[in-house]
A and B are shown apart, each in its own frame.
Chain A
Amino acid sequence: MRCLNCHNVINEEPTLISLFTKNEPLCFTCRTALNFKYPGARCGRCHQLVTEQTDMCRDCRVLYALYPDINKMYTVTDYNEEMKLLMHRYKFVRDYALSEVLALLCTFNFKQYDYVVPVPVSEARLKERTYNQTSAVLEALDVKYMDMLGTKKVKRQSELSRHERLNSTNPFYLLENVSSMNLSGKSVLITDDIYTTGITIHQAANVIKVLNFQNIDVLTFSKAQHI
């Protein structure tokens, strides 16, 4: 078998390590490099590294004031060099196989939610990429998800300044097939690939709350650490 991240042949002779791992297309070296969190104190809400442990960092307070819809936020890894390379290949070189790699890193209990909703990508982006990078990971994980959101965004997130992003009108809208649903008492997990400023996911939550969810949580596969 080959590792889908580095393409090296994975040694199939039983070693001490392989005895404890399943037969999976991710080598030990890549797993260690990708399954990574910086040491240090963190914001209890968005998991940003901070100088002193806090329940809500400055960024969170700004976002929370604007969009107070999210209850808990989770993230799988920190966005280190290795993850950056992976995401680039996954999203821009269209190396779809990496959805399996991300799925292998993602040990998360999705069953506790009634609904799992991926953040959508624009039609133009979908045409280039041919897949939604977040849905593909959920599919690899065998998680049942539901598309509830659409996006009219065309400009790349990276082309907007932080100020523009905060004040940009919300690009998300509810898809027609769900817009008349009442989901009071239900819980939802909104899922996205990378947490950078957090604005995207807060805007998604702000649109979805119209459906009267009792609880809205968030999961991102990787958290960029601005230090």
Chain B
Amino acid sequence: MPETPNNPGHSESEKNTASGSVGNVSFIMLLGAGLISIRRRYIKYYSGKFNVFCKRHNRWEIIYMLDNKITRRVFLGTTLCVVTAPLFATLLNEQNNLQKVLMDGQFFNAAELTLLTDVAEIMIPKTDTPGATDAHVIPVLDGLMLTWAGVKSKRQFRFIVAQINDLAKSTYGSVYNKLAFDDRFLLIEQLDKTAFANKKSVLSTHYRRLKEMVFHIYYTSEEANPDFILIPGGYRGSLSKQELDTIQARGYL
């Protein structure tokens, strides 16, 4: 019998609990090493170098440009800023509403990153909550290909990009990145259906692996877990929604 990931007694609980908004957290950022104070607790972060973005006039602008590694929302003075992972510079192709990635990544080239970014955003679009692009899913995936992926995965993930392009050509007579948004959406939607209806084909297998990783990265991202509390301070097992919300707003039991 396979052990379930939540096998009681033996496994680590990965359940994320909800907390107050990021506005409750005061950060002091130091370049290279960050000292972050959360209420009464002090947590030291050692990190690489960052690009620091600030929201001005409703647009994200880079205020420092350094080597970048980690994504974290911080307050600099009173301004909410985002310290971000390797974000790839993009240009919006207004004709087909496609974010074209302008630079090669560490593993994928620019054209592959463009396709993957689009596919990930189709899978998990921005709604009133962040989407895959906001959560930097593809930049993170690009990094994981070097630090996590084995030979087989490297081959599969590269190959699925080519397969999606082939599919685009055979369906619409054009490479994926040139298709109109509606066609791209339909293509991925159909691929998703087929991948779970006919699990045996190579295309299905590769697609399902890509999808699983996109979802894993998204749902472990800070953007997808605004309510996560690192240090809950205690456990309560029988709360009303209102009681839960009050504790979450406080950010600590």
A and B interact physically: no
